Amino acid sequence: MSTLDIIRISASTPPAPGVRHQPTVTKLIDTTTCIGCKACEVACQEWNDLPPEPTTQSGTYQTLPSMTANFWNLIRFNEHEDEGALRWLMRKDQCMHCTEPGCLIACPAPGAIVQYSNGIVDFNQDECIGCGYCMTGCPFDVPKFAPATRRVYKCTLCIDRVGVGLQPACVKACPTSCLEFGTKDDMLEVANRRVEQLKANGFPDAAVYDPPGVGGTGVVTVLAFGSQPELYGLPRDPVVPRTVQVWKGPLKWIGNAAMVGGLFAAAIHYIRYGRKHESDPSVHV
């Protein structure tokens, strides 16, 4: 991927330099065939060469309580009781690569967050100022702050692999093919086919999770209990927080207009009324 693929840049008013059109890439996560082996976690750590992360034992098979700055791919082990039967709803948690990325919208550092023509949202940590606004902007709680570098990290969708025609490391490692990678159209087709299968086999609520509130995501998830995404730790209807939208949208323009207007008003006042004169004879004593 190069600058020719950059279609959106954080905190930049000039248009992004991208001129290429590429099909949107998508990772499909089929939670119904995930066996919780964590091969994807290992592959992610290995490919990205991330330092190991100490963990805490909290009575679950989950590697860590949540993703961290050095751990971008976490299988969440959710337990759910369904008519007396215990269901183990494993879900691969990672950056969703939103079409409308809240992180990028909230970011004040020019170039620290970019979106590529194939849909990948990536952080450039060298431009990151460590403010953490992306963490507030993200509806999925993905970006993680590293105190040591005071910058924020997350899944890159293996942009360095995808850019040269390889699939992401996690997909490569998945032994059950519950992870697939391809164009968004292809992945949605696979996902919908799978949902039909599930519906015909006792999971009437099965659905594809591709939330429209963030313009759809570059990571779509097949859920057996699709009407209850909360069971998987997914927000029901994620959107970029309204306050962030107001702050980066109308408030910015109102504020800028008010500040420029204030300076302008002062200049006009000075031209019209000028300075006060204490020797002014009209002054009462």
Partner 1 sequence: MNRILRYTFRERVVHWAAAVSYVYLLLTGLAFWTPALYWIAVVLGGGYVSRALHPIVGLVFAVIVLWMYAMWRKDMRVTAGDREWRAAMAHYIRNEDHLVPRAGRFNYGQKSLFRVMVWGGVALLVSGLVLWMPEAVPRDLRAIREIAVLVHAVSALVTIAGFIVHLYMGLAVVPGGLKAMTHGDVTEEWARHHHPLWLDEVDKSP
Q: Which residues bind partner 1 (CB under 8 A)?
A: 11-13, 106, 108-110, 127-133, 135-136, 141, 144-145, 150, 241-244, 246-247, 251-252, 255-256, 258-259, 262-263, 266, 269-270, 273-280, 282-285
Considering the complex, state which of residue 110 and residue 182 has its C-beta at the smaller distance from partner 1. 110
Considering the complex, state which of residue 201 and residue 243 has its C-beta at the smaller distance from partner 1. 243
Residue (of 234, 239, 218, 237) closest to 90 by Cα position: 234
Write the DSSP assignment of 150-179 as a string of letters. TEEE----SHHHHTTTPPPHHHHH-SS--E
Instruction: Find the shortest distance in angstroms from Cβ 77 to partner 1.
Output: 18
- Contact between residue 23 and residue 181 where contact means Cβ atoms under 8 Å apart: no
Residue (of 127, 92, 185, 129) closest to 9 by Cα position: 127
Instruction: Find the shortest distance in angstroms from Cβ 118 to partner 1.
Output: 25
Q: How far apart are CA 181 and CA 153, in angstroms?
A: 22
Residue 103 tokens read as: 């992180």
Considering the complex, state which of residue 33 and residue 68 has its C-beta at the smaller distance from partner 1. 68
User: What's the helix, strand, coil split of the chain in %, to 5?
Assistant: 30, 20, 50
- Contact between residue 152 and residue 138 where contact means Cβ atoms under 8 Å apart: no
Report in angstroms the alpha-carbon separations of 61 from 46, 74, 174, 231, 283.
Answer: 20, 11, 18, 17, 82
Instruction: Find the shortest distance in angstroms from Cβ 54 to partner 1.
Output: 17
- Contact between residue 29 and residue 90 where contact means Cβ atoms under 8 Å apart: no
Considering the complex, state which of residue 42 and residue 129 has its C-beta at the smaller distance from partner 1. 129
Write the DSSP assignment of 59-87 as a string of letters. SSS-SSSS-BTTB--EEEEEEEEETTEEE
Instruction: Find the shortest distance in angstroms from Cβ 79 to partner 1.
Output: 19
Instruction: Find the shortest distance in angstroms from Cβ 269 to partner 1.
Output: 7
Instruction: Find the shortest distance in angstroms from Cβ 164 to partner 1.
Output: 31
Instruction: Find the shortest distance in angstroms from Cβ 53 to partner 1.
Output: 15
All residues at 6 or more sequence positions from 215 whose CB lies less than 8 Å from its CB, including other chains:
98, 99, 100
Considering the complex, state which of residue 85 and residue 285 has its C-beta at the smaller distance from partner 1. 285
